[in-house]
Structure 1
Amino acid sequence: MSRRWLTVVLGCIASVAVHAERITDIAQVAGARSNQLVGYGLAVGLDNSGDQTTQVPFTTQSITNMLQQFGINISSTLVTRTQLRNAAAVMVTAELPPFAKPGQPIDVTVSSIGNARSLRGGELLMTPLHGADGEVYAMAQGSIAIGGINGQGASGSSVQVNVSNSGRIPAGATVERAVPGTLSSGGLVRLNLYNPDFQTAARVANAINAQMGRGTAVAQDPATIVVRAPLDPGQTVSYLASIESINVTPAEAPAKVIVNSRTGTVVINSTVQVSPAAVSHGSITVTISENPQVSQPGAFSGGRTQVVPQSTVDVSENGGHMFRFGPSVDLNQIVHAINQVGASPTDLISILQALKEAGALHAQLIVI
């Protein structure tokens, strides 16, 4: 790992200082949640880049069913023989915002589920979007916007930038059914913290009581604050708007070290501490090289020329550095020490895991 990489990670974390935040940024009103929608449809009008109907049978069946709705009876076998390449089977997903009303537009994402090469220039046909309960909550249709580019030559050479078999339709769906929701129940409103924490919940309740009057809010648990609201529904919205604008200083996040073993990314937050410990860091390099030799038989020997493999294996150990952490070491000192020995991402992960096993790393070590 280069020194620059570690410095970037430290700068991103150190710049996030603890400061006051609005309640609307750290909590949401219970019941004001979005809902996921999904649907199956057809994208047509593709430039010979759609599904190969001989290999994707459900596209053929979908086209047949669609044509029958318009009074055109055609067999699936005929559709397969015609080798349609301008249509593709797609999945359509959307997020229904809280309190969305019938007639409001929402964005949708369209993704190919067959072997279509690109959805560029495609038109999504009318597709019902279902919720988890199986009911239709929106209808989607429109031109698909693609951000990727791909091209292929006659010789087989190809180039691709981003993904071209998935795209979006801005305002591509219309809400047909509203999800029932209430802001208050029995004159009580519940605020749910995005990151549950006992201290943050207590601070939110105290801030609301200081602003709205004693006894207005009670922290029910680390995630929920119960707030007394007006019984008149017409006053609830303005009342909640006043509460959401109150500033609260959240509690410090628990000490965590997040390690992504697949990408080598390590994130350490500012509350991580290390007890006194000594760490030895060394790097072993194994080099294997193949140098095939040609064996030429002598004249008139009747032998054949052969290639004789010859391998060379070298093992070298570099570094062997040792550094020591003193008491109450903070993030700056951890990154500085690891920078000095030039640890790679893999080495850093091994060091952190060893410190955790030794009981010197006072943080949750999360490997994803």
Structure 2
Amino acid sequence: MDEFIYVVAATFSVLSILWYIKYSLGKRTPPLPPGPRGIPILGYLPFIGRSNNLFPKLTELGHKFGPIFKLNLGRKLCVVINSPSLAKEIVRTKDAVFSNRDASVANLAASYNASDVVFSETNSRWATMRKVFVREMMSTASLEASNELRANVVGKAVDYVRAHSGKPVKIGELTFRTELDVIMNMLWGGTIEGVKGEIIAAEFFSVVSKIIDLLGKLNVSDFFPVLARFDFQGVKREMEGYVKCVDRIFDDVIAQHEKKLSCGEIIKKQGKKDFLQILLELQNNQDCGHISISHTQIKAIMMDIVAGGTDTSAITVEWAMAELMLNLTVMSKAQKELSDVVGWGEDGRRIPHPEIEISRSSC
């Protein structure tokens, strides 16, 4: 019996030494930044509160732990950056290292299982699609071509605010709708006109706003991937329902676009290709050699444009307006600049100004 105990003890000692050599003297885990302690399995999840708005909590932790800190949320290890210099290091200097994204359950459903530019793997196809996106959609020539469109849409938003002077205005919702109007026209060129176009725009606005809200919802499946198959909160099921609604809209618009494109009506009518036309030609290998994309990828890229170009701008404007209202001195300077540059006529409408087109081009 004593010999058996000695053998077990010796075996355990040898295994312990081997484990130490492998994990302690072998590949060392890079040092992690400081951060709050959590509890086993759940991490820091019980301490972030019930609200979906994490900004106040992250700001509080940033004051305590500095410009970079770690946060264990369930099985996910998160690193929070709240320094401009560190953000630049990650998104610009080391962008190749940090380019792949850990998509949430909702993001995967909304991006057609990572068929888009945002969540797909950074391979050669991704690089090509990104170049097409930047060159055709975000180029100076493309933005200048849509200057009049953007100026008119922004002008309508300004007129709406003026008409509701003295009354509460939901600036975030107004900005979201304004951006969505611009993006829809840049995507398919306003070729869906009349009552049909108004119905599509109204339905599209309703569904997209719900998708954006769902993308920001906390989902337990994201923190514990093993539970994703059960979809306890129904996030995946709900997102797939919204995506089906968007599918119907996209399929309808694409079908009408393909019909007009086959007859050359779009280019002849507008004199410029909209982004959907570029994608359809890319699908048919007409513009980019042997590079082609699927019907699903086209819809996924369009979803990227809609989600990335609406909610971000709405949040930025809403925060900027909140800061202005908290700083009356800066608010007065902004009001004076608007009065000097734009001006208002006796009838309460904007006065044309030679510099206003330049100002609007950056709206």
**TM-score normalized with structure 1 length:** 0.19
| Structure with greater strand percent | 1
| Structure with greater helix percent | 2
Q: Which has the higher contact order (CA 8 A, sep 6+)?
A: 2
Which protein shows a greater Rg? 1
**TM-score normalized with structure 2 length:** 0.19
